[in-house]
Structure 1
Amino acid sequence: MSLLEDYAEYEATYQRQYNNTNATITDTAAPATASARDGMNAIASEMDGYITTTLDVEDAPIFSLDTVQFQVPNKIISLAVSNDVLVLVIEGAKILRIKLQEAHNIIEADVPVAPTTLRACNVFLDPTGRHLLLSTPQGENFYYYEGWDHAKPLSKFKNMEITAVAWNGLSWSAADSSTRTILLGTHDGKVYESELRPPADPKAKRCDIPVRCVAELPVRERVSGIAMEPFPARRKQHLVLISTGTRIYQIVGAADLESRSGDKSAVFEAMLRDGLANPNYQEIPGMPGPGLLTVHHRETQISGKLQAVATDFAWLTSMGVFFGRLTFGGQDSGDSVVENAALLPYPTLSTSATADVAVAEQPGALALTEFHILLQYSDRVCALNMLNSKLVYEHEVAPGSADEVLLGLTVDETKRTFWLHSPANIFELVVTDEDRDIWNIYLSRRKFDAALQHCYNDAQRDTVLRAQAELLFTEGDYVRSAECFARTTVSFEEAVLRFMEIKDNKVLRSYLLSKLATLKKQDRTQITLLVMWLVEIYLSSIGSIDAKIASTGAAAASTSATQISAISKTESSDGSVSGDVPLSTVTALEKEKSEVQSELYSLVEEYKSSVDSNTTYQLAESHGRRDFWLYYASLCGDYERIVDYWMEKEEYIRAIEALGHHGTPEMFYRYAPVLMSTESVALVDVLMRQPNLTPNKLIPALMRYEHNDVSGVDNQSIRYLRFCIQKQMCRDPIVYNYYLTLLAKDSTSADESELMSFLTTYGKGMLYDPDYALRMCKRYGRIQSCVHLYSLLKLHEDAVDLALKQGDIELAQIHAERPEDDKLCKRLWLKIARHAIQAKEPASEVMELVRRSNRLGVEDILPFFPDFTRVDDFKDDICVALEDYESQIKDLRGEMDEATRTAEAMQRDMSGLKSRFAILSTEEGCQVCGKPLWLRQFYVFPCQHSFHGDCLTRRVVGSCNRVQRRRIQELQSQMVDITKQRRKLKLTPLVRSRTDDKASAENDEQLEQQLRRARQQLNSLVAGECVLCGETMIKSIAEPLVNMDDLGTPALVADDSWSI
């Protein structure tokens, strides 16, 4: 069953579950697309979802004029708004300051002029809403700072009518009470530089703020507008715009606004002087217009921070609104930053208060929103769309009323709010979703990307994308058209059939990929279907490209053969040959194939979890794409399948490479038997790089390798096991035993050096079974190893016997020295000597062997010689032996004499001890109780200290440890019992038989011996040393002289010997 038939089956199942799904399209396509259509229906059914179908966004009007509910105490002269702070200048020379967030709190301040003289003035409020500059037509200028109760005259600003102000954006810091450097435009075409700052003394009546003229316009006209804007990426590079009734000047240059105007040189003086020397300006000929200038700012992310960047400007001229876009880049002095500038004529109003309605009235003020130009007339406010120049809003304010004549339009640049005022009222022009219809304008201009950015709902986006898709399809840009169609609500089957008719897989792939990108993670079934279809398309495309390459190569070969055979006919006069082999075509096809493969691999990698593995493998096999088959298996981590593949193809080296890179221990155990039999060297190289293998599980593979004929080559089993034992420090006895077997069996090694080295090195820890090793060495005739193993098993006689059996006397001598038993060593050496004699070795060599043993004498080996052996060869040795015997006899006699003398001396000493005595005075008393010594049994020590027996015993018992104390008590009790038994025997009746007398005497003698032993033991414990000058006294140094428990006894109370 093909993949597309799978789609059809899925579609049928889906339609049974959902009867309300879209009906499939009629069978109008070619028969070749029938199965594809079934698959498309299945996918389309899954992908159809709800989308908003309403194009229009019904909401509040974009512009609405609201009257602010505020009762003004007098007529309004001027109004300014900034940072949610509204300032009114009203008749009576009053200033009203209102924070719009606290509208109930109105601050009133005076202007120090006659109330009747202030009828008109220009008011300028800085971006923070703290600094207010007021200028009258008479050239009087006042400065007001928040919190003051009256404005203060600017003494150095006399005779200057300020008509425009360019504020400094660096004055936003709340801790900075200064406006920083600002530019002032005046009625006589001059530009001044200053810095507003409240005086240090709050009670000062005037402000002596310095001001400096930094430029004069080439044409002395009233400065109607001025603005200074920093370059976003070059903060010291600035643009200054100056507008008059007929001209607008652009001045670009460097100005450091961090410096203060109090410096000796003004900040903008050099920049303005250079810029106006050769001015860059736009002039509108004819009568001078209002000349007002406004700049629109937009929040832009620059270096991770949001900054207000000037993006558009508008200028009121006599012929209309001149507007354009400001683009900042690498401009320098004399360059222009204005792009897409245009002159928009003033609209003809629906009704007009002027006499001539055919002539458009000039507005009194203007402002910019993101997409509209706001115009303020005396009786109405209008909005023009900057994109299509259409009048989209017009609102008339109380026509015919003198108090409702609009006097000005003010913009709060901080909060983006718009305000108008008449002498009696304040109005707010509310702007709501002004970009709601912008998408349609861009769409009509075929600016699809811009249109998509301003769509409000799915229906609008769908309309834009459909229009773009249809246009691209008409223009033949099918790939981009497919990408757009994938994002629309056009039915899946309709779009696919359109692209299938083009018969270009690239277009269909583009559509399916784009459609796939629109699906959500939970749409797993749809994702799987699309991905599998794409895989099939990609594989088919790669196959087609391969066919083209093959046909191109065949055509090239045919062309070359034809050219060679007809070279004489086609050779031109200059010797060149016509006809070029299309190598460039082959290169292009190879590049295309590489790109398609890269796309396929990226697709499968991205949607790995959604790809059906079995289907993918089947597709790769059916298209013969071994490379993709292997890539996908590697991507899925199905390395066992990769190894199976190479094993099936009998490409064992590649199978080993795959194992080396991604093999698990279980995979090595599985494939090792076959690979060990075919590519043993390469496999062992890889095995030696795997630290996680268990060597004993590879023994079956090694054994299978051993069944093959490996004679004449390096044994790879031995090589691997040697590595495991020596490098990986394997301690498995099975591995050691098998390695030993291989070493014993190895027919390529004549000597036993490696086997002996192994047995010697690892025999001490018994990592191999010595009994098993002995059997293997016997089986394969490894005699030297057998001798070593006999010795290791403590079978030294067998070791020597085997060595002698092989005639290796030196080996026998080595192992004769191994036993620790001297008698056994001597017996083994005798065996060696007998073997040497029986082998008819020369007598001199036999005697050399005797001397080397250090255990045998000539008398030991003489019995082994034949009876009629001549003794001439070892006569000297016999003499030496006899002399040695004589010397030994003399030494023994001397030792016997010395022992006799020692025994006699000891006997004399013992006799002297029996007669030792001490002379005591009759008045000698016990050292413990002080009573006469003669009253009871007593002890006398060599130090002349004497004690009663019971007194000494009590003293010793009091100072000894618990074990000794218990032993003394036991001996005393034993002596008492023995004494009682002897007394009882003596008191028995006199009439008794001789046999009884004899038994009684024997018992009495036994009791006396027991009493004597008990007394000796007691004497050794009690009288072993003097208690006054022995070790016991030394140990008692830490004991108190007086027992603390006896302090209250009468004896100590009466004894005053311890008194101080």
Structure 2
Amino acid sequence: MTSIFDQYEQDSQRSKHPVAPSIRPDISTTGFIHMKLRDDGPIFTKQKVNFLPSDDITHLAVSSNLIVIAMANNVLLRIDMKHPDKPEDIDISKYSANMKLSGLFLDPLGYHLLLAMVPSKGETPPAELFYLHRKTTKLKQAGKFRGHEITAVGWNFANTSETTSGPILLGTSKGLIFETEIALDGDKIFNTSLEQYWRQLPNYLPLYGSKEVDGLVFDIGEESKPPITGLEFHRLGNSDRYVVVVTTLIRIYQYIGSVTTLDEKPLLQQIFNRYLNAKERFNQLDSTLPYSKMQFYYSEPKQLPKSFGWLTETGIVYAQIDPNVDPKNVLVNKKVITCPETSLIGGNISHSSERPLSFVLTEFHTLLLYSDRVKGLCLLNQELIFEDIYNDAFGKLVNITKDPMTGSIWAFSERAVFKYKVTKEDRNVWQIYVDKGEFDLAKKYCKDNPAHIDHVLVKQAEMLFGNKEYDQSAIIYADTHSSFEEVSLKFLQEWQIEALKTFLKKKLEGLKPQDKTQVTMIVIWVVELFMNQMGALRGDHTSHLHNPRYQELQKQFDSFLAIPKVEECIRMHKSSIYDLMASHGDKENLIRLTIMHRNYEEVIRQHLYKNNYMEALNVLKSQGNRELFYQFAGTLLQELPKPTALALISQGSMLKPSKLLPALVSCNNDEKHAQEVIRYLEFCIYKQGCQEQAIHNYLLSLYTRYKPDEVLRYISSQGQDIGMVPYDVHFALRLCQEVKLTKACVQLSALLGLWTAAVDLALTISVDLAKQIASMPSQNDDELRKKLWLKIAEHVVRERDDIKQAMEFLQQCDLVRIEDILPFFSDFVTIDHFKDAICNSLQEYNQHIQDLKEEMEEGTKAAELIRKDIQSFRNRCIFIPAKDTCNTCDVQLLLRSFYVFPCGHRFHSDCLVAALIPMLSMEQRTKLADLQRQLTTVSGKAEDTNSIGSVSLSTKDQIKADIDDLIASECIYCGELMIESIDKPFIEEEDYERVMKEWD
């Protein structure tokens, strides 16, 4: 049997989904994989408990998965969530004569239940307090509380016993606080002693002249004697200190003290003693409401609450609970949260005249209960994120409560009970903390999401930068994926060189060995920064060597050069580093670095310094380190273009042209250098078969500037397959357009599939070229080819007025006919020019008409054969033995109306319909139900009128035929329906849990 607590239905709900921060344009997403397997859904979802109460629900209490529901007919419904199919009905009518239930209080363990009753309207019996244990159905009266209306109970959350409640506090409607203990009398479960201790307190006189009351612990002392609306006490950690929090209609009280003797009863009197003759500590808010509500949020059961909330007319007083900030105040960071006056359903609708009836707290949100709706409010930014409108059929909402042990949230109206599920409510907390500038908390709630953590770090770095904490900002910026260039520029704009160096060095630490380009860039930049700083302090003499600032920079520079990544980078880029140091005139560091890295190419560099370029080229050719070619080729090409180009050619495939490309580009100053670069690039392409796009593009750019006649030859040599050409076709087209190489533009446009543009350009050169281009498209694309030929024909007729050449198109392209080009001629052209073409066209149309006639005759004969087959099929019959059974129900087939299919399967009519309905679409199901309803109606009329052969029977036959077409068009075992349903599961997803429980 399915539990009533497992059967839920969805109601009208609206949730506000916060917009996730978009990836900033200055943040690189390298390394982030944006993956979302499923939608998180709304934070709060409501599920209705599917049961019908016997009367209006007045109270509900829940704790430790035990629910107690009180109804207006004086019946308690007690349900253990572990066994929800065994609810207990407890009749309390004999205890509530002339009384009504005013309060229902259940302890955290769910074993002790207190029922507060007050006289009904117009009655005079005093208020009563009753007790009910979890294992009994009989109420026990607490005689000594007679006359006191209990409005709040402070349960002992440290209690673990099922037979005793431990010391508890009871608050009354007159502002009094009592302490007592509930305990079972031995093993007699049904003989419960409520007043475990109850005695007159010596030497105690309540404030404001109150007389002594037996068992009284404290009187809050307000002159108006307001009711206690909230009451809880907790032990502060492992110390002997306790806190008691009390709320009335307008005040919050805190009583903090030590309990030194645990055996002394009343236990909590030791806390209140210090407040007997002293003014209480309280917070007050004006309120005209006849109620207030107090709630705590527990991150873990039986632990000190994490937060506190108090609902009044003004709003919710929300505070964190921390006993370590102030020894006299555990409610810290108090703030007033205003109840929302807008709506997520139907726009901004004001509800200022209506105040919440109750509320519950979660870790980051609060659910506010109104008479007709529940609203969810974020506690961090006071934003309305959820709203649930209730149906009037369930009556007005009464209360909302939370299980302090399991955290489940329950709301109930007069006629229904609902459960709220909380799903990943901390999903967007990190973003709220970022907006508030609380970055440590934001990182805590990012939950190792790299994209979120990066967003937090960026915001933190921006804040530190704005506060001029540049060094700290640089360290954090280096851990983000922010744009390297933008961050660097920010520090440069503020001229924070030290912060920039910090950022670069921190960024360098995070780079991997394979990130050689980034490492090289950062190392060279840091060296440049050191050189600038040290150069500013360096004078003509050696006085800078004794400058403390210079000495400090030298130490930092030496430490930087000793980093393994930096050593490796300098070893790979010695020339650049040496040139950089030499440009700053820092001979000391240059000599030190040369000795450190044992620079073998120093000979070549010395030749270059002395302008002995040929000697430097000879040394370069004789050595075996190919990397030196990439370093020195630019300089040597600039000074010795032809010998250097020949030297590069002699190296053959040992050199990578792409790595030489910067050197080749740098020496492109005049035609003499360009010719040598073209020679080397032609060698790479035609001899070495280089397919690198950058090389081909660069050669094209040189051709267009210095050898325009070679462009068309080069394009033709690379083929006409755009997927195979090694150069960038768009780039080539732009280059040719700039220098007005029209023929090359025609070929490139055709290569790109820009046929219309290619033909237009070709027509500016020659008609023959245009014809050549028009013939190039695929033979399957007749429409495009025809369009291109017509464009050429129009050009010939209108631009050249050449009728003879236009007629030749009819012979050259079989797609163009005379009627296609006639509109291009002027009205004064005589028909003699087109006589032959028109006759040929008419003969083709005549032949086409004859072909269509023959096809129609063949179609007529085929239709006649089909009609004969259909007629013969109508006379077909099949013999059904009397013992044949239905393939679905195995009952004899002849007992009811049936269908027999050519495949041999047999079904009763009703069995076939029942088996077929799940396979039909919703539209087909609706149509079948409508036809069956019409058949029933027509059959009834036929019986009443007995009109055989009338219109009714004709209609009936038509309906039956429609039903047959729908359900008997094919066998359900052999037809397409069975094939289409092969991927459908045997058990639907919504029935899976129910079926599995039935199998268990």
TM range (shorter): 0.3 to 0.5
TM-score (norm 1): 0.44
